[in-house]
Structure 1
Amino acid sequence: MRVAVKRISILVVSAVFCAAFWAVQPVFAAEPINIGVIGFASPAPGKSLFDAARLAAEEINAKGGINGRLIKLFEYDNHGKSADAVEAFQRAVNNDHVVAVVGVWISEVALALEPWSSRLHMPFITTGSAATMISSMVHDNYDAYKYTFQLQMNSDQLAQSVADFLKDDVVKNLGYKRAFIACENFAWTQSLEAGYMKYLPAAGIEIVGNLRVAPDTNDFTPIYSTIEQQHPDIVVTGWAHLGVKPTVQWHEQQVPVLLAGINAQASTSAFWDATNGATDGVISQNEASEAPITPKTLPFVEVYKKRFGVSPAYCGYNTYDALYLLKNAIELARSTDSDELVKALEKTNYTGVQGRIVFLGKESPFTHCLTYGPDFVLGTETQWQNGKLVTIWPKQAATGSLMVPDFVKHKSAAQ
């Protein structure tokens, strides 16, 4: 089996000499705190995940590290494969002696790592995987799976966030009340689809159709034809691996339906170039966006864009917060012991770039997942408008208003 590629980011590690004994003997810096980062590096979400981890580690180290110890990142590209991720996780723990692992934006990979987090007693914070099973496993067998935390709104919460936006902005302001659900066929969308079926009717939206799209789909013409036959106002999506092709073909074919829901790749400014502008008008739910969500959000985005040339993808926000959560947990626990870190992480009450982070407790069916809501993490809705990614919901963080593409306007006016 091919070993997962590992890159080591050693951030500002230098020998430190004690001034009082300068002429006698050098005193070297304390051992670094090793943290593993695992992800599928080549797609936009994966690149953002690694970049955000580096940025957070550099910031923390520049301010003295964690209790005087610098962070040393060990990075592993799992190439989108669970087997490579498991091998990387084992290597991180047994060879590189990490104190925690963060990352992973594919739910199937996170679910493959969760049992290894349990076996090796290694804190694992997934920062991009949404399957509800990740946190429900912690609830169902806490003693075994307590080492896993889901620093990502799960699929049920994502569906609720999308429905809340549609109710506030689309149903209320446009009168659009007919939706067709189109999700890619992956683990994370099983609970997303179930969430849509539950929350959309409660938001006043009639579901007129539902289909799951194969991951290797290239031609979306028959899919859009099937959707149009049901005369929906909105296509409510669940796309993370898919994104570019259905977006481009929606625009090229002028499909007269508003494209909303979740299009994870559309969460970064790189998506405009990837679709050659075809993403104009597309709406997508995000963990956070370039908006005044908290006092920390815009400064993070500005530094990130200056450093990497694009805005963060959804899991970039989460991974950046994850490093600070680990810093706080280690300082609170005064230890890097796994069980002590779990206890400290469970006490998290931290305002990060995506909102106020509090993990759900044992009583919740989603133990160790984020708490969803206006006073916690609510998510945002963004829309591509003339080359800019505009935050249109929630109202308190909005940087612009919902825009309906001309070819969708023509359709709605004819009804």
Structure 2
Amino acid sequence: MTDSNRSRLRLGTTGSGGRLSNRRRFLKATAGVGAGVSLTGCLGQYQVLGGTDGEEPVKIGLLAPSPNSNRMGRSMKQAADLAVTHLNEEGGILGREVELVVGNTKESSLEARREYQRLILEENVDATTGVFSSEALLSIIDDIAEQQTLHLTSGAATSEVSRMVRDDYERYKYHFRIGPNNDIDLGRIQMDFLTEMYEELGWNSIALLAEDYDWTEKPWEVYQDRLADTDIDVVLEERYPAATNDFSSLYDRVEAADADATFITTAHTGNAALLDWQLPSKRSFGFGGVHVPMQLPAYYDMVGGLCRYAVSQTSSTAKTSITEKTQDFVTAYQDEFGGKNPIYTGYHTYDGVRAIAHAAEESNSLDSDDMVGALENASHPGYAATVEFYGRDSETPHDLVYNYGETVYFQWQENENGEGVQEAIWPPDKKTADYVTPPWLEA
């Protein structure tokens, strides 16, 4: 990485003589500790979390799914490593070196809880970030509350934890979501895109589809509320079974209903949904919505180009400037990791580590209660979005505020070199290309 790229990424001058927190947080045994970490003989050893002598490093824990093999987890780990490197080049946090400690959740809720407890009880981390799945986040939220340790989610979208913050603020206030937007706002994002773009896309009639998982429930409710007030004709709507791996009969119904497009919300079933749109023959409707696998920068090659002309939402693409800092992060990430592009979890995890540092510097403390206060007052450009959280009296306290224009809908297109590229088509000020109608659908 060049020195110029590093300097562009600096958050600002970090203090070196700030007051360190003198709060002594005693470990609290939780109901599930026996399943993951035994407290026998540990209380004396780990009575105080985080050093206060000015010499121990500030430890940030990252919870990521299989970071050596899972693409989402790998991007989280690489982005966190990059953030820690940059912070240390800038003088650390409160004049102390920053150290990253990784917990591999192995795509398991049980393992997520075990690893969270290990990070807190054994590694003595000062704050945590990460967590990809909603199920994993729900499994650790009571531990976060019990340990009273700041956590910034950078992957899971469930708003259930946000409502817990609202309903019992003093207990759950230690949770923030640095990104992506929560599931309710995801539904709003979908509707903002569709209602503004349906005429340009030629999607006057749609088949509204969503996989029947918990994470699609809130977006589905938003769709029902918003679509009734539009001129879009919903000719078919279905939350299809979670185990669906063959969309042939469903797509036959979409074609029979004469839908212009399938507007889908999918993660687990996304590959089958996409491939059956193109194979064995190309279907007579467009394809788009929220499609988590398509967010992967390598997805075009993974499916042999069969995602060409399909549309999906993401936090950012490698060509997009969400804030004035986004491209600095993308360039630094590419320089550090052999030209690879970050996935959305990487953008938000980088912001998560940075936000912890910002909260510590703003409050001049590593005390979680002090950092909570600093984050509640935060409002500044991050690298994936403006770092600003809903207030405690809102519907979803401590979640990233949805700012129109700080998200992207892209279409997979092919450039002049035959390479697949995520081209932003919405919102207007983020566009890098116009939407291209699939050639087999052109009149």
- Paired residues of 1:288 and 1:380 also in contact (CA < 8 A): yes
Which of the numbers 380, 384, 397 marks the counterpart of 2:430? 397
CA offsets per residue over residues 313-340 of structure 1, 9 Å max, x none? 1221111111111110011111111211
Seq. identity, %: 30
Q: Tell me which residue corresponds to 2:349.
A: 319
| Structure 2 SS opposite 1:277 | coil
Q: Tell me which residue corresponds to 1:134.
A: 161
- Paired residues of 1:82 and 1:112 also in contact (CA < 8 A): yes
Moved more, 386-395 or 159-168: 159-168
Tell me the distance in 2 between the aligned counterparts of 1:213 and 1:77. 31
Q: Tell me which residue corresponds to 2:286.
A: 258
Partner amino acid, structure 2, of 1:30: E
RMSD: 2.1
Q: Tell me which residue corresponds to 1:24.
A: none
- Paired residues of 1:184 and 1:242 also in contact (CA < 8 A): yes
CA offsets per residue over residues 237-285 of structure 1, 9 Å max, x none? 2122332222122122312222111112212321112111111111111
1:275 equivalenced with 2:300 (yes/no): no
Matches within 5 A, 1:284-295: 284-290=312-318, 291-295=320-324
Q: Tell me which residue corresponds to 2:220.
A: 193
Q: Tell me which residue corresponds to 1:25.
A: none
Tell me the distance in 1 between the aligned counterparts of 2:162 and 2:196. 29
Q: Tell me which residue corresponds to 1:8.
A: none
- Paired residues of 1:129 and 1:188 also in contact (CA < 8 A): no
Tell me the distance in 1 between the aligned counterparts of 2:187 and 2:274. 20
| Structure 2 SS opposite 1:261 | strand
Matches within 5 A, 1:266-415: 266-290=294-318, 291-308=320-337, 309-374=339-404, 378-386=406-414, 387-409=420-442, 413=443
| Structure 2 SS opposite 1:391 | strand
CA offsets per residue over residues 149-173 of structure 1, 9 Å max, x none? 12220112112112212222222x2
Q: CA deviation at 1:102?
A: 0.7
- Paired residues of 2:322 and 2:407 also in contact (CA < 8 A): no
Q: CA deviation at 1:311?
A: 1.8
Tell me the distance in 1 between the aligned counterparts of 2:229 and 2:81. 41
CA offsets per residue over residues 40-98 of structure 1, 9 Å max, x none? 23432222122211111111112211122122111112111111001111111111111
Partner amino acid, structure 2, of 1:397: K
**Count of paired positions:** 384
Which of the numbers 95, 98, 103 marks the counterpart of 1:71? 98
Unpaired segments ≥5 residues, structure 2: 1-33, 38-52, 415-419
1:156 equivalenced with 2:184 (yes/no): yes
- Paired residues of 1:35 and 1:101 also in contact (CA < 8 A): yes
Tell me the distance in 2 between the aligned counterparts of 1:207 and 1:357. 36
| Structure 2 SS opposite 1:59 | helix
Q: Tell me which residue corresponds to 1:166.
A: 194
CA offsets per residue over residues 202-254 of structure 1, 9 Å max, x none? 44323222223444432222232233232222212212233222212212231
Unpaired segments ≥5 residues, structure 1: 5-27
Q: Tell me which residue corresponds to 2:210.
A: 183
Partner amino acid, structure 2, of 1:240: A
Q: Tell me which residue corresponds to 2:28.
A: none
- Paired residues of 1:325 and 1:350 also in contact (CA < 8 A): no
CA offsets per residue over residues 11-41 of structure 1, 9 Å max, x none? xxxxxxxxxxxxxxxxx98211111111223
Q: CA deviation at 1:174?
A: 3.9
| Structure 2 SS opposite 1:143 | helix
1:102 equivalenced with 2:132 (yes/no): no
- Paired residues of 1:85 and 1:109 also in contact (CA < 8 A): yes
